[in-house]
Chain A
């Protein structure tokens, strides 16, 4: 017909036929998906922006609201627990301590809860366009990380304000703990978001679980209090078999300078490395489960 169409036909002839949708098989499927997501990284960036922009679009204070919640919680815990119940007496710099925990926990809980709802929440897109669907839990994680970054800046400013700025090797714990939280949250978000499509109860279950596990980590109370209560037996090991608990203590190692002389569980860094490995493995498994379940997303939503 025309040269344009001939050129197109010639170019298309050179291209191989591709099977639509995700590839099958563990390694091949994983590599394929990662490539696919990498190819869509600009879209991921846009989706994160969309989440953030749309959330506070018409409010006068905008992003400030994302800080209000943790600050209000800080105030409540500081007054109720710290002053009335006296936790502040045994925990030096209680405000810094509690805000460190809240920041770390906030990242995990936001990434998991918004991640779980992400597939169902974006059903309009999933039913109409083919995208690597992992992008939605990832976008939820991305927007949680953005909020986390803002809080981290405030936390750092607070350590300057109280005159106890973390220095030296303390900073080593931050990236490691952050990595543990990110991979663990991502693994859960992938797994739960996929299951949530088939069982909508999951997202309510997650809300409750997040509430419970908030108290299962040393955020509003100190590790010293727990270890004093449960001793050194299996209960203590059970308490420590929680990547988020370990990661939060890692955060406290960095930011809670006043707590340098406080007890920490032994081999905190070894535990962090182990949980990082477990978290990566868990994320990979989560992705495979996700890949298995996603074939029917469009018809189940």
Chain B
């Protein structure tokens, strides 16, 4: 890897935006003396150093407003850095917004030529690729129709088709893979894989973290314009996910603080805590396949009879991954008054790599929920990166008989 040529060299780049409100001549003159008071500096990037070698696929990830897109635009030469230098090699194509440069009044055919030209293809080259472009887009029927009559899907198909035929050495992609229907998306991903195979460099900005894990061989996490992590996608994603979790936790705390002020109907019982234990010791991180106990503590203010206790794992976006309860487990709970703890014993945690939250819930005899403690605990599951998704199946390949 080390001997490969650097195609993008970002050296100590900072970018400052000046946030100003007024725009018109009148406002400028009226506020002339005070105009500095109306300005506000915002550093979108601070002292970024980044070298990208040829043939790598790099994902730029981070929360909204972390400077991902700004960095991408700086690499593409669309924005000039306030300080520092960006140097590049080879032909670069930026796919920052599909259909940039499509003119609604021109036909699809005319727009293909215009767009290809904007992305740096000569007319001759475009003619050579034209059939392939139209074929890839799958809208032959409408190619001589004005683009303004296109559906948004058709628009996107044509634009992506042009962009992938430009033959770039470096492809900058910003959030455009999420458009189009599923078959077309798959087509796009296939094309990106072909690009990787051909040794093209791809710099991808996205919020689809799974996509990064799938496509990229390097991920850079940005936050507030600073590189937080840079390396293997798995490690970078772990950093980002835990960051997201912290952000969410802070948000929930805020919500709860404001909610507690409002009068609440008194639950007869509540989940006090959810803890994760391994060999009797509290844990937050486990290796996939390891045993785990989930200890749920209940406090019943009134006498509870034939009640149900449950717990479950949720993904970082709050999607249910796993759940069970005493009813499903056919374990009737003894009558209860006061505080008590119960352990759910899991012999082997076959969860996929990622971070999860754990909730506990209590329900009455009718099945109506009495109380639920969301995100009572956090669990990070470490794996070897051999599989994706929420479950661990320990797959291997063997020749078929």
Q: Which residues of A contact B (CB under 8 A)?
A: 1-2, 4-9, 11-13, 15-21, 42-43, 46-47, 50, 53-54, 57-58, 124-131, 199-201, 295-296, 298-299
| B contact residues around A16 at 8 Å (CB) | 89
Give which listed residue, A6, A15, A50, contacts B90 with CB less than 8 A: A15
Interface contact A131-B118, CB-CB below 8 Å:
yes
A129 engages B118 (CB within 8 Å):
yes
Question: With A and B bound together, what is the CA distance between A130 and B168 in angstroms?
Answer: 14
17 more contacts with CB within 8 A, not counting A2-B197, A124-B97, are: A1-B199, A8-B169, A12-B7, A12-B54, A12-B90, A13-B5, A20-B74, A42-B117, A47-B114, A50-B106, A53-B105, A125-B100, A126-B78, A200-B23, A201-B24, A298-B79, A299-B17
Are B197 and A128 in contact (CB-based, < 8 A)? no
Q: Does B110 contact A (CB under 8 A)?
A: yes
Whole-angstrom distance between the alpha carbons of A21 and B75 in the complex?
9
Tell me which of B80-88, B131-139, B374-382 binds A.
B80-88
How far apart are the CA atoms of A7 and B146 in the complex, in Å? 40
- A1 vs B1: C-alpha distance in the bound complex, in angstroms? 11
Kindly identify which residue among B78, B119, B169, B198 contacts A12, using a CB–CB cutoff of 8 Å.
Answer: B169
CB pair B197–A20 under 8 Å, yes or no, is no
In angstroms, Cα B196 to Cα A2, docked, is 10
Contact A128 B96 (CB under 8 A): yes
Given A4-B198, A17-B87, A129-B118: A9 in contact with B77 (beta carbons within 8 A): no
The answer to whether A2 and B199 touch across the interface, beta carbons within 8 angstroms, is yes
Which residue from A13, A20, A42, A50 sits with its C-beta under 8 Å from B75?
A20
In the complex, per-residue mask of B107-119: 1 if CB is within 8 Å of any chain A CB, else 0:
0001001100111
Task: Tell me, yes or no, whether B55 is within 8 Å of chain A by CB.
Answer: yes
Digitize B57-85: 1 where CB-to-A-CB distance is under 8 Å, 0 elsewhere.
Answer: 00000000000000001111111100001
Kindly list chain A residues whose C-beta atoms are within 8 Å of the C-beta of B165.
none
Q: Is the CB of B80 within 8 A of A125?
A: no
What 4 A-B pairs have minimum CB-CB distances, sorted nearest first? A5-B199, A20-B77, A128-B100, A295-B80
- Once the chains bind, are A57 and B146 in contact (CB under 8 Å)? yes
14 contacts between A and B (CB under 8 A): A4-B197, A17-B89, A18-B88, A20-B76, A20-B88, A50-B103, A53-B105, A54-B105, A57-B106, A57-B146, A58-B105, A131-B118, A298-B78, A298-B79
Given contacts A12-B89, A124-B100, A199-B28, contact A21 B80 (CB under 8 A): yes
Chain A hits for B90, CB < 8 A: 11-12, 15
Q: Given A128-B97, A129-B96, answer yes or no on A20-B103 (Cβ-Cβ < 8 Å).
A: no
Instruction: Output the least CB separation between A133 and chain B (Å).
Output: 10
Residues of B within 8 A of A9 (CB): 4-5, 54-55, 199
Residues of B within 8 A of A199 (CB): 23-25, 28
Chain B's nearest CB lies how many Å from the CB of A193? 16
A19 and B87 contacting across the interface, CB-CB below 8 Å: yes
Give chain B interface residues in 156-176, CB to chain A under 8 Å.
169
Q: Is B94 an interface residue (CB 8 A)?
A: yes
Report which of B17, B24, B54, B101 forms a contact with A124, defined as CB distance below 8 A: B101
Option from A8, A19, A20, A58 in Cβ contact (under 8 Å) with B55: A8
* Residue of B whose beta carbon sits closest to that of A128: B100
B113 lies within 8 A of A12 (CB)? no
A4 to B77, CA, bound (A): 27
In the bound assembly, the distance between CA atoms of A12 and B90 in angstroms comes to: 6
- Check if B31 is an interface residue, CB within 8 A of chain A: no
Which residue, A8, A46, A125, A129, has most C-beta atoms of chain B within 10 A? A129
For A126, give the chain B residue with the smallest CB separation: B78
The reply on B122 being an interface residue by CB < 8 A is yes
User: In the complex the two chains form, is B118's CB within 8 Å of A43's CB?
Assistant: yes
State the CA gap A42–B55 with chains docked (Å).
30
- Chain B residues near A20: list those with CB within 8 A: 74-77, 86-88
- Chain B residue at minimal CB-CB distance from A202: B25
Q: Tell me if B200 counts as interface (CB < 8 A to partner A).
A: yes
CA distance A24 to B329 in the complex (A): 73
Using Cβ atoms and an 8 Å threshold, which residues of chain A touch B23?
Answer: 199-200
Are A128 and B54 in contact, CB atoms less than 8 angstroms apart? no
Q: How far is the CA of A16 from the CA of B103 in the complex (A)?
A: 35
- Cβ of B12 within 8 Å of any chain A Cβ, yes or no, is no
> Known contacts being A4-B197, A9-B54, is A17 close to B88, with CB within 8 Å?
yes
> Is B5 a contact of A130 with CB atoms below 8 Å?
no
A125 to chain B, nearest CB (A): 5
Chain B residues whose CB sits within 8 angstroms of the CB of A296 once the complex forms: 80
CB distance from A161 to the nearest CB of B (A): 35
Q: Is B324 an interface residue (CB 8 A)?
A: no
User: CA A43 – CA B106 in complex, angstroms?
Assistant: 16
Which of B9, B85, B106 is close to A53, meaning CB atoms less than 8 Å apart?
B106
Interface string of B351-387 (1 = CB under 8 A from A): 0000000000000000000000000000000000000
A127-B198 CB under 8 A given contacts A50-B106, A50-B114, A57-B106: no
Min distance, Cβ B201 to any Cβ of chain A, angstroms: 9
Q: Which of B6, B89, B110 has most A Cβ within 10 Å?
A: B89
Q: Which residue of A lies closest to B17 (CB)?
A: A299
Which B residue sits closest to A17, measured CB to CB? B87
**Option from B17, B26, B78 in Cβ contact (under 8 Å) with A128:** B78
- A298 / chain B contacts, CB cutoff of 8 Å: 73, 78-79
Point out the residue from B55, B79, B89, B110 that lies within 8 Å of A5, measured CB to CB. B55
Q: Which residues of B contact A13 (CB under 8 A)?
A: 5
* Chain A residues within an 8 Å CB radius of B152: none
Across the interface, which residues of A come within 8 angstroms of B117, CB to CB? 42-43, 46
Query: Cβ of A128: which chain B residues have Cβ within 8 Å of it?
Result: 78, 94, 96-97, 100-101
Chain B residues, CB < 8 A from A50: 103, 106, 110, 114
> Does B145 have its Cβ within 8 Å of any Cβ on chain A?
no
| Complex: chain A residue closest to B16, CB-CB | A299
A298 to B200, CA, bound (A): 27
Closest to A9 in B: B54
**Smallest CB–CB gap between B352 and chain A, Å?**
28
CA distance A186 to B81 in the complex (A): 28
Q: Which residues of A contact B197 (CB under 8 A)?
A: 1-2, 4-5
- CB-CB under 8 A from A17, the residues of chain B are 6, 9, 87-89
Bound Cα distance from A53 to B105, whole angstroms = 8
Most buried by A among B25, B79, B123: B79
